[in-house]
């Protein structure tokens, strides 16, 4: 029987990760403020084992950091949009650096297929989005074209 990928917080995780490590990741994903004692108890392992496993997950880069999730709307970022960008092929490295500096650019991904980049932009209002897309983004010489899709509702993990 072959091992299958298992979900953690809605994401599939490679089957090569031990079940106990998956459980620790699941618990941390639910609440990153859990103490090692709580994690160990809920995963059914000793505190020393939990420390060792967490250290190994950090050393391997599986856990790359700890963060706080915020509600963008409660921060005044009422408008969210996906912006897809076609670019001049030879300039993608420089363009990526510029896209990362765009106001409101929360996520920038280099993609393959019909478009070169996908951006998630969060801004306070439509006027600010207009400025980001029409004034800043489209004035970049490496940008050939853009398409903007408003996000009407989203699931956050």
Q: List the domain boundaries for the chain.
A: 6-59, 72-150
pLDDT at 1 (0 to 100): 41
pLDDT surpassing 90 at residue 126 = yes
pTM passes above 0.85: no
pLDDT single digits (tens) 2-13: 455 555 555 556
Tell me which of 3.40.50.1000, 3.40.50.300, 3.30.360.10, 3.30.70.920 is the CATH number of domain 72-150: 3.30.70.920
Residue holding tokens 């921060």?
75
More confident residue, 118 or 30: 118
Report phi then psi at 83, rounded to 5: -120, 125
Q: Which residues contact 152 (CB under 8 A, 6 or more apart)?
A: none
pLDDT at 2 (0 to 100): 45
What is the token pair recorded at 55? 């250290």
Q: Which residues pair with 108 in a beta bridge?
A: 119
Q: Which residues pair with 121 in a beta bridge?
A: 81, 105
Residue holding tokens 């510029």?
98
What is the second-level CATH architecture of the domain 6-59? Orthogonal Bundle (1.10)
């Amino acid at each position: 029987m072959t091992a299958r990928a298992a979900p953690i917080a809605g994401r599939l995780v490679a089957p090569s990760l031990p079940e106990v490590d998956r459980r620790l990741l699941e618990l941390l994903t639910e609440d990153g403020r859990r103490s090692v004692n709580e994690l160990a108890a809920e995963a059914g392992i000793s505190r020393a084992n939990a420390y060792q496993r967490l250290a190994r997950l950090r050393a391997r880069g599986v856990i790359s950091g700890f963060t706080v999730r915020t509600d963008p709307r409660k921060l005044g970022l009422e408008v969210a949009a996906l912006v897809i960008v076609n670019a001049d092929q030879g300039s993608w490295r420089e363009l990526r650096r510029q896209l990362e500096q765009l106001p409101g650019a929360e996520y920038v991904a280099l993609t393959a297929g019909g478009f070169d980049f996908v951006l998630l932009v969060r801004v306070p209002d439509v006027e600010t989005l207009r400025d980001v897309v029409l004034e800043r983004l489209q004035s970049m010489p490496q940008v050939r074209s853009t398409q903007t899709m408003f996000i009407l509702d989203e699931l956050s993990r």
